[in-house]
Amino acid sequence: MQPHMNRLLRATLRSFAPYKPGTSVDEVRRRFGIENPVKLSQNENPLGSSPRAIAALHAISTLSDYVEDEHVALKRRLALPYALENENVILGHGSNELVQLAFIAFVDPGDEVVIAKPSFSLFRKDAQVAGAAILEVPLRDGVHDLNAMLAAVTPRTKLVFVCDPNNPTGTRVRREDLLNFADRLDPGVLLVLDQAYREYMDAEGADGVEVLRRREATLVLRTASKIYGLASVRFGYGYGSPQVVSWLDRVRLPFNVGRPAAAAVLAALDDEEFVARSKANNVAGKAQLMAGFARLELHAYPSAANFIAVEVPTQADTAYEALLERGVIVRSGDGLSMPGRLRVSIGTPQENEVFLAALEALLPQWRLAPVRA
């Protein structure tokens, strides 16, 4: 880039790298000639999409007009399980957009944001874009260290992010610990609880809406991408106080949720059979993978999500590339601030077995070769 062009870019973004998605199935086919790779890299639902959502998409007869921007029926359906009002619900083009809206609405350059490390990478990205001061608090045994995060808060802190279950480790915090943390957090700080994987969590995990009922400055994020298998339609939603939601609505782009997304999600929310099958597959798959890791003497964090972070006796990128060559796509922890680990989505029983077999075949050579720093 020419110097006169480089000066156009904001100073905070000059060392900024674009988001890099996981390796695609088509890329593995091209590179290695493997016809049917196993993709366990992006925490997608291995059972596909809600059949009710697909039927709703097929029933759409026109895309020529702007859909209503308020999405009254969809907000009502999302509010119903918690006896909330439409004014408590904010809709987004994925929950990622709602993270961006929180920065736009609440963070001035130089304001502080407290984030766990490692956690969802887009928290840090959006903080950089906003010119915020980022305070990263290391996890403790793969779990948010809530006491340390609380200690990191200063009068300049505007946002605190808790990803629960946490991406990329898959761990969750204890319900009582989160409630205690929320009660002690300065009421003038917005607590953002990213619960994209909430539906996979065990019954002892915390529901962010319980936190919202205790403190007004709380935003609880959810998504249709995971349990409902609707990653392609890009739909996320959040629960907050009417005041917080109204502030987010002021900076939201009009018509950010299109008709296909709204129709698919409204139908999927009532697809109890698909959700139950998805949960059952996840429980069984988690047990299958954890048993395999134990047999192979590999440490894995206990997961409350639909993926597991497992330690490997080599560099994460090395393991990732070796598995690619065998037609298994995972995520390297090296790019997720989780060196020495792989993040593996829980697949079908057959997909899990293909991954475990490939891992077992590669382990002897990794254990014989020294790990280079």
Domain 51-268 is found in CATH 3.40.640.10: yes
Taking alpha carbons only, the member of 296, 36, 312, 122 closest to residue 320 is: 312
Mean pLDDT of 352-362: 98
Q: What are phi and psi of 279, to 5 degrees?
A: -65, -45
Per-domain residue ranges for the chain?
3-48+273-366, 51-268
Question: Per-residue pLDDT tens for 170-206?
Answer: 999 999 999 999 999 999 999 999 999 999 999 889 9
In 150-217, beta strands by DSSP E: 157-163, 190-194
Distances from the Cα of 281 to the Cα of 69, 286, 301, 352, angstroms: 36, 8, 19, 11
- Reported residue count of the chain is 373
Q: What is the DSSP letter of 307?
A: E
Q: What is the DSSP letter of 300?
A: B
| Lookup: tokens for 62 | 């026109």
Weakest-pLDDT range from 23-27, 154-158, 226-230: 23-27
Q: Where are the alpha helices (DSSP H) in the chain?
A: 3-6, 25-32, 51-58, 72-79, 95-106, 121-130, 146-152, 175-184, 208-214, 242-251, 259-268, 272-295, 316-325, 349-368
Identify the helix (H) or strand (E) that includes residue 308.
strand 307-311
One DSSP character per residue, 88-143 reads GEEEESSHHHHHHHHHHHH--TT-EEEEEESS-HHHHHHHHHHTPEEEEEE-BTTB
Mean pLDDT of 295-305: 98
pLDDT at 266: 98
Question: Per-residue pLDDT tens for 116-151?
Answer: 999 999 999 999 999 999 999 999 999 999 999 999
pLDDT at 1: 54
Mean pLDDT of 9-17: 79
pLDDT at 373 over 60: no
| Lookup: tokens for 96 | 């990622």
CA 195 – CA 165 distance, rounded (Å):
6
The CATH number of 3-48+273-366 is which of 3.40.640.10, 3.60.20.10, 3.20.80.10, 3.90.1150.10? Answer: 3.90.1150.10
CA 219 – CA 89 distance, rounded (Å):
10
Average pLDDT, the chain: 95
When pLDDT is cut at 50, 70 and 90, the band that residue 6 belongs to is confident
CA Rg value for the chain = 21
Answering whether pTM is above 0.75, one says: yes
- The crossing angle, in degrees rounded to 10, of helices 349-368 and 316-325 is 120
Taking alpha carbons only, the member of 157, 173, 174 closest to residue 119 is: 173
CA 307 – CA 289 distance, rounded (Å):
10
Question: Per-residue pLDDT tens for 27-68?
Answer: 888 988 898 999 999 999 999 999 999 999 999 999 999 988
Distances from the Cα of 137 to the Cα of 39, 63, 284, 326, angstroms: 31, 45, 33, 36
